[in-house]
Structure 1
Amino acid sequence: MKHFLTTLLMMGALAAGMSAAVLPARALVEIDVNKGNVEPLPIAITDFLSADALGAEIAGIVAADLKRSGLFAPIDKGAFIEKISNPDAAPRFEDWKVINAQALVTGRVSEEADGRLRAEFRLWDTFAGQQLTGEQFFSSKANSRRVAHIIADAIYERLTGEKGYFDTRVVFIDESGSKNQRRKRLAIMDQDGAGVRYLSDGKAIALTPRFSPTRQEITYMSYESGEPRVYLLQIETGQRELVGNFPGMTFAPRFSPDGQKVIMSLLREDGNSNIFSMDLRSRTTTRLTNSNAIDTSPSYSPDGSKVVFTSDRGGRAQIYVMGADGSGQTRISFGDGVYSTPVWSPRGDLIAFTKQSGGQFSIGVMKTDGSGERILSTGFQQEGPTWAPNGRVLMFFKEEAGSGGPRLHSIDLTGRNEQPIPTANFASDPAWSPLLE
């Protein structure tokens, strides 16, 4: 969906007697992941003017996205003093300063002559009395939710100085039925839980879906043939193919950053598993580990030069890092407990993991050399972290004692903003997409 900075909005600012220059790219919200108590920014998001309820709906999605990030505190609309009747005109800044709205969002939704949706917004710094940015978007009405997510991303980036993550999707395992006869289907949804679509019929168990970083494609594991096998699936067409027919079981697949390889574990008859990579063009495989242990859950660094994985070669599962060619295998975790499902941050600075210790499961992060381990969430059973594309938020699945099944949750790197992701059924194994094009 093409979007662009519109001259129309800038002309509106000039008509209001304001400077057309956008403020310098400074961040009103300072993100310090080690601080642990980032104060959310009070922001007022008015209903977008429209001939129907769509304007209010889009504004509501924008507000929900920003609130869920933990960095923004949308102000209750009942506190608003000014009623915005013309989003092209400058607001009465004093009315917004009185209610401590440090930022203000106004907008309009209309229908073009050709039936397309036109959505435009302005972001204002109320205390500086200036417009920060303004954009307009054209799309079909069917894409109105996505337009709202893109607007939320633009606001997030302008106010924090970092890329947003709202215009993304999550592939996961939808779980229904009794625990003894659980039906596990591949499913995909928006990052906020809306727009669920099923990608498999549930006749065969599907597990560990992972997004390609370069295409609308996922890799996943299925028991369709009776043995676990790794498949590729084109999301839009439904076309799929088997990734090799190896002896033994294949599992824990994940793409390389350039999308040209899949890395995975192969379990042999002796009970040991090792890590292999496959070039998707030539279909040649390369063995990366060769230990008398269980090596599994590989994940590439964002530049593709290294791989993090778990191995019990030291007696219990710990986290190791090696070169992408298998060289220099080095243990980096030394804490109590058992580590699993490590995954490299898109920013390259952290590794997320699951840790089991003292009868509890935890989601945590550590630096890429193993130092600075921090636990973000602990509970009865939780695992499988996946990174938002901006590297600031994790999604994982957790099962509360007595709940009957797992649910998806997100948490930011401060560890203070954990939130459930609504799904119709139980859900597990989430994987976050890159930002959509």
Structure 2
Amino acid sequence: MRHFKSFVIAVAVTMGLAAPALAQLRVTVVGEEYVPMRIAVPDFDASGNGAEEIARQLSDVLRNDLASSAVFELVDKAAFIERDLSFDMAPRYPDWQVAGVAAQALVVGNVVINPANNNMTVQFRLYNVFGQSQQFARQYTVVTPLNWRRLAHRVADDIFSQLTGDGGYFDSRVVFVSKTPGEDMVRGRLAIMDQDGANAEFLLSGFTSVINPRFSPTDQRILYGAYVPDPKYPGATLLRTYLYDIENGRQEVLAEGPNSMDYSARFSPDGRSIALSRAVGGNSDIYVIELARRTQRRLTNDAAIDTSPSFSPDGKMLVFVSDRGLGPQLYIMREDGAQMNCPKGGRDTTCRITFDSGRFTDPVWSPRGDWIAFSRQGDGKFSIGVIRTDGSGMRILTDGYQDESPTWSPNGRVIAFERTASRGAGPKLWSIDLTGRNLRRMATPRDATNPTWGPLLKVDAAQQ
């Protein structure tokens, strides 16, 4: 696998052609839905040895990032009228306003490779076309042109943030379980890729039966389960939960209790603790483990099966699945186990938030805190849906044969999930916007399950 080396991105936010004090251009949000904004992205200019090809590739990745969201509608390059754009001069705004182009936003940039030290600088300007003003400009400098793809994602995140007010998600990665078509269901290898499917690779050797990876929301660590030989019983296997650091390759087994099995682990928002399910004597309850000291707390103590915990982004609440209501439904509770006012009335240490004939699994709290995503089995199919944290506003977003294992993008706008299209078909990864629009296949080299979306990469780290 590739290792991750630090490099410095020098950032200059202010460049010439500063915008006057005008209202900023923003994507219109109606309810939970975006009204797509038309945006034009011509190929960046280039200067220096090899810069022209990098500028073309960078521009393609930038356009693909923006087009992959539900937020933007890319203007076809064939419709452009002004083709002699200069980074140092304002565009001819009327050429971008005419019918057939009708761009609301315009991105102009360049790529410069310094012949003296091979440093690469990427500059771009974001223009408000109808306001006839520059809205934003930024410059990145890196020590090698090999980092051009990372910079394309960074630029896309900057544009997304400027035009929506939300954080970006393009400069991030997805871990998943890679499967060979036709092989045993429990067999699969841990793999990682950029969110757009680029740079896919395996993470571990020697582990071929991996399940349920979960990314840390703060760094490049993951939790995962693996079926390994049972040292007590030759020929048998047991399920272990591992903590793995992608950057340095270090991994360790999490605490195992005698005669128990830990599974479905997730990080707390600060990455310092995990919540997991522990099965003892055929019954599963929710535990929290503080990673530094390995202290453990039991949160539920019920004869029902309690599993699949997920923290709220402030770390004060958890959602989990329990069959204490005669079938798996979603419940919430405080992280400290104290009593709380339940959304449907009354006080209890756990509060049910779904009251549905379906069977609920895989809950995961949005990074924004407003929604909980889940998989629902009912009417002969599995679907991905979302629900408000008080149990209101449930919406089913997908309608597939078997959709499961949802995971949120870092900004809480997009959900990736696993889809099996029909009986006998291999599982693939897909994504959908929170609005229920923009269903897209996520490219993977082979069949894939159990996606988990990582945080935005640090500005001072890049792939080499």
TM-score range, shorter chain: over 0.9
Structure 2 partner of 1:103: 105
Structure 2 partner of 1:377: 398
Structure 1 partner of 2:61: 61
Structure 1 partner of 2:263: 251
The Cα of 1:34 is off from its aligned counterpart by: 3.3
SS in 1 for 2:30: coil
SS in 2 for 1:244: coil
1:137 to 2:140 alignment: yes
Q: Normalising by structure 1, what TM-score?
A: 0.94
Output the amino acid matched with 1:196. A
From the superposition, tell whether residues 28 and 300 of structure 1 become closer, same or farther in structure 2 (CA, over 3 Å): same
Output the amino acid matched with 2:266. R
Structure 2 partner of 1:114: 117
| Further displaced range: 350-359 or 322-331 | 322-331
Q: Is the 8 A contact 2:200 2:445 kept in 1?
A: no
What does residue range 215-230 of structure 1 map to in structure 2 within 5 Å? 215-225=219-229, 226-230=237-241
From the superposition, tell whether residues 396 and 75 of structure 1 become closer, same or farther in structure 2 (CA, over 3 Å): same
1:306 to 2:317 alignment: yes
Residues 19-58 of structure 1 deviation map (CA, whole Å, 9 limit, x = unaligned): x2355563421223534xx332111100001242111111
Flag structure 1 segments of 5+ consecutive residues without an equivalent.
Answer: 14-19
In structure 2, distance between residues paired with 1:393 and 1:3:
29
Q: How many residues align?
A: 425
From the superposition, tell whether residues 251 and 44 of structure 1 become closer, same or farther in structure 2 (CA, over 3 Å): same
Q: Is the 8 A contact 1:208 1:220 kept in 2?
A: yes
The Cα of 1:213 is off from its aligned counterpart by: 2.1
1:388 to 2:406 alignment: no
Structure 2 partner of 1:276: 287
The Cα of 1:237 is off from its aligned counterpart by: 1.5
Q: Is the 8 A contact 2:106 2:128 kept in 1?
A: yes
Aligned partner (choices 4, 21, 29) of residue 19 of structure 2 = 21
Q: Is the 8 A contact 1:26 1:161 kept in 2?
A: no
In structure 2, distance between residues paired with 1:202 and 1:364:
35
Q: Is the 8 A contact 1:23 1:130 kept in 2?
A: no
Residues 241-293 of structure 1 deviation map (CA, whole Å, 9 limit, x = unaligned): 00012232211010111111111111122x22111111111111111111111
Larger RCO, structures 1/2 (Cα 8 Å, 6+ apart)? 2
1:44 to 2:43 alignment: no
The Cα of 1:203 is off from its aligned counterpart by: 3.8
In structure 2, distance between residues paired with 1:176 and 1:344:
30
Instruction: Give the alignment's Cα RMSD to 1 decimal.
Output: 1.6
The Cα of 1:403 is off from its aligned counterpart by: 5.6
The Cα of 1:134 is off from its aligned counterpart by: 0.9
SS in 2 for 1:54: helix
From the superposition, tell whether residues 206 and 177 of structure 1 become closer, same or farther in structure 2 (CA, over 3 Å): same
Output the amino acid matched with 1:361. F
In structure 2, distance between residues paired with 1:104 and 1:238:
42
What does residue range 389-428 of structure 1 map to in structure 2 within 5 Å? 389-402=410-423, 404-428=425-449
Q: Is the 8 A contact 2:186 2:210 kept in 1?
A: no
The Cα of 1:180 is off from its aligned counterpart by: 3.0
SS in 1 for 2:302: coil
Q: Is the 8 A contact 2:107 2:125 kept in 1?
A: yes
| Further displaced range: 43-52 or 352-361 | 43-52
Output the amino acid matched with 2:154. I
From the superposition, tell whether residues 181 and 253 of structure 1 become closer, same or farther in structure 2 (CA, over 3 Å): closer
SS in 2 for 1:43: strand
Structure 2 partner of 1:294: 305
1:190 to 2:194 alignment: yes
Q: Is the 8 A contact 1:84 1:106 kept in 2?
A: no
The Cα of 1:60 is off from its aligned counterpart by: 1.0
In structure 2, distance between residues paired with 1:144 and 1:374:
39
What does residue range 141-160 of structure 1 map to in structure 2 within 5 Å? 141-160=145-164
In structure 1, distance between residues paired with 2:21 and 2:363:
40
Q: Is the 8 A contact 1:176 1:426 kept in 2?
A: yes
Identity percentage of aligned residues:
45
From the superposition, tell whether residues 348 and 6 of structure 1 become closer, same or farther in structure 2 (CA, over 3 Å): closer
| Further displaced range: 274-283 or 50-59 | 50-59
Structure 1 partner of 2:73: 73
Q: Normalising by structure 2, what TM-score?
A: 0.88
Q: Is the 8 A contact 2:269 2:311 kept in 1?
A: yes
| Further displaced range: 112-121 or 390-399 | 112-121
Q: Is the 8 A contact 1:216 1:236 kept in 2?
A: yes
From the superposition, tell whether residues 428 and 84 of structure 1 become closer, same or farther in structure 2 (CA, over 3 Å): farther
From the superposition, tell whether residues 128 and 168 of structure 1 become closer, same or farther in structure 2 (CA, over 3 Å): same
Flag structure 2 segments of 5+ consecutive residues without an equivalent.
Answer: 1-7, 230-236, 339-348, 459-464
In structure 2, distance between residues paired with 1:367 and 1:263:
21
What does residue range 156-167 of structure 1 map to in structure 2 within 5 Å? 156-167=160-171
Q: Is the 8 A contact 2:207 2:226 kept in 1?
A: no
Output the amino acid matched with 2:54. L
Q: Is the 8 A contact 1:27 1:161 kept in 2?
A: no
1:208 to 2:206 alignment: no
| Further displaced range: 415-424 or 395-404 | 395-404
In structure 2, distance between residues paired with 1:195 and 1:32:
36
Residues 108-148 of structure 1 deviation map (CA, whole Å, 9 limit, x = unaligned): 01112311211111111111111111111112222111100
Structure 2 partner of 1:16: none
In structure 1, distance between residues paired with 2:200 and 2:23:
36
The Cα of 1:201 is off from its aligned counterpart by: 2.5
The Cα of 1:172 is off from its aligned counterpart by: 0.9
The Cα of 1:86 is off from its aligned counterpart by: 1.8
Q: Is the 8 A contact 1:219 1:253 kept in 2?
A: yes
SS in 2 for 1:174: strand
From the superposition, tell whether residues 419 and 154 of structure 1 become closer, same or farther in structure 2 (CA, over 3 Å): same
From the superposition, tell whether residues 82 and 72 of structure 1 become closer, same or farther in structure 2 (CA, over 3 Å): same
1:265 to 2:286 alignment: no
In structure 2, distance between residues paired with 1:238 and 1:32:
45
